[in-house]
Structures are given as C-alpha cells and as structure tokens.
Amino acid sequence: MEENEINNEKKTILIVDDEKPIVDILVYNLQKEGYNTLEANDGITAVETAINKRPDLILLDIMLPKMDGLTACKKIRTTLNVPILMLTAKDEEIDKIVGLELGADDYVTKPFSVRELMARIKANLRKVEVKSTFVDGRNEEIKETQKIKIGDLTIDLDKFEVKVKDEVIDLTLREFEVLKYLANQPGQVVTREVLLEKVWGYEYYGDIRTVDVTVRRIREKIEKDTSAPKILITKRGVGYYIASK
C-alpha cells in the first residue's frame, strides 16, 4: 500500500461518463487507490475540464450527450498529451479503432473488470512517470543513450522528439514509446504481444488491433509512402521492426 501511495501521489484522473452508477464505482475505486478524481457527464464539459484542470489521465466514454467521446478525444488531444483510455461497449469494434486513430492510448470494453481497469490505468501512468523522471534527469536506472539514430530516423530521448530527415514529427506518448522500443533493437522483429506487454505495460488480453492501429498511425507520420514503408516494417504473421539502415 505504501508503494501505491507514493506512485499515485497527486495523480488526478478525469472520469467522463453519463451513467452515474459507473462514475460512482470508478470514483470509489480510484480514490481507494489514492488517486484524486474529477468528473464530467458530457463531452463538452469533458473538454473544458480537461483543458482547465489538466488531469494526469482521462477515462473517456464514447457514448456521451452534447458531444460524443470520439470528438471530445480529438479536441482534447490538440491541447493535452496525457493518456486517454476510451470506454467502449463490447460490440463497438469500429469505435475502438477510430478512437485509437484519433489519439486515444488505450480502451477498455464495458462491462469491464475494475481490477483490469486499474491495471491499465497504472500502466499508462507509469509510462508518463518514466518520461517525466527521464526528462528531469533524476532516474539513474535508465541507461539508454540520449539519441537513437537509424538512417533518416532520429529519436531524441531527452526532448522526447522524433525527426525524419530533420523534420520534427508530432507523436503521442504511446506512439513515441512504440517507436523507441523498436528502434532500440533495429532489425529485430517484435511481436504484437511483446509490444503490448512492454509498451502498454499489461499482459496480452486477446486484442492486438491496438498495436496495429498505433503502428499505422506512426507510419502515416514518418513514412513517405505508407504502402511501401522504409522505416517501420511489417514481418507478416509475426510483428514489426525498424529497418536497420
């Protein structure tokens, strides 16, 4: 418990859902874990609260009044680069994929296990903490070099900046982490399951589309021709790798 209190100190989570029983359950469990919580019951309020209060993580339902969650996600992402976890109904596969394309970091299907949701939240916040401590230069356990350069691709770990042919590429935190993980081992094929475990921070739950969509988003930003990628390559039936040169 002491470790949780330290890790969760001052972390604030914005819960966006129009179903009060779900909000109440999430507030209870999050506060029990030591998090601060904010609430919004519609998309417009969600965007305003996110921008004004700047939470550390957002739980965002897709089906919302006034403004749907997908639109809210897109608007929030233009201002904030905090983890966004979409809450979707079990059969809304297209909404999951669109949500990821609009910049969501993860999604959880309803009805969800509170234990699984908490694991997802902790995993996403942990990635942000690693980013912050590394940028501040206080994490002595991180031994990575400050820059990774492979061909036209340059990843600056201090600035959390990616360049292709000296052009700065705007990536979300999750996209950056995927690219960095692959670039740390150029030429080596990494499976989707390993990426889920190492980058998302939780075990494989049976849906690898999360990885595929994130890779597609990265390619759209770093590749000149996404149909014939030169940097981020697919090994059909296995996974992905960064071209070694």
CATH, residue 215: 1.10.10.10
Q: What is the pTM of this model?
A: 0.64
The region of weakest confidence among 92-101, 139-148, 178-187 is 139-148
CATH of the domain at 50: 3.40.50.2300
Residue 12: domain span: 2-135
Rounded-to-integer distance, Cα 146 and Cα 126, Å? 20
Same domain membership, residue 118 and residue 205: no
Boundary residue ending a domain (115, 135, 155): 135
Both tokens of 230, joined, read 């030169």
Cβ 99 vs Cβ 87: under 8 Å: no
Cβ 81 vs Cβ 127: under 8 Å: no
Same domain membership, residue 157 and residue 92: no
Same domain membership, residue 175 and residue 76: no
Q: What is the DSSP string of 6-38?
A: HHHTT-EEEEE-S-HHHHHHHHHHHHHTT-EEE
Boundary residue ending a domain (135, 169, 194): 135
Same domain membership, residue 211 and residue 160: yes
Same domain membership, residue 120 and residue 8: yes
| Stretch 5-25: mean pLDDT | 82
Same domain membership, residue 152 and residue 131: no
Cβ 58 vs Cβ 83: under 8 Å: yes
Q: At what angle do helices 114-136 and 173-183 cross, to 10 degrees?
A: 70
Which of 5-9, 114-118, 232-236 reaches the highest mean pLDDT? 232-236
Look at strands 57-61 and 12-16 and give their pairing: parallel
Confidence of residue 128 (pLDDT cuts 50, 70, 90): low
pLDDT at 243 over 60: yes
Element (H, E) at 115: helix 114-136
Same domain membership, residue 114 and residue 184: no
Same domain membership, residue 113 and residue 170: no
Place of tokens 């079990």: 90
Element (H, E) at 130: helix 114-136
Confidence of residue 5 (pLDDT cuts 50, 70, 90): very low
Same domain membership, residue 51 and residue 74: yes
Looking at the chain, the whole-number percentage of residues with pLDDT higher than 70 is 82
pLDDT at 4 over 60: no
Both tokens of 12, joined, read 């604030």
pLDDT at position 66 is 93
Rounded-to-integer distance, Cα 232 and Cα 179, Å? 8
Boundary residue ending a domain (114, 135, 156): 135
**Which phi and psi angles does 104 have, rounded to 5°?**
-65, 150
Confidence of residue 129 (pLDDT cuts 50, 70, 90): low
Per-residue pLDDT tens over the stretch 26-71 = 999 999 989 999 999 999 999 999 999 999 999 999 889 999 988 9
| Stretch 148-154: mean pLDDT | 89
Same domain membership, residue 98 and residue 13: yes
How many structural domains compose the chain?
2
Which of 102, 94, 30 minimizes the C-alpha distance to 59? 30
Cβ neighbours around 109 below 10 Å, total: 18
Per-residue pLDDT tens over the stretch 224-241 = 898 889 999 999 888 999
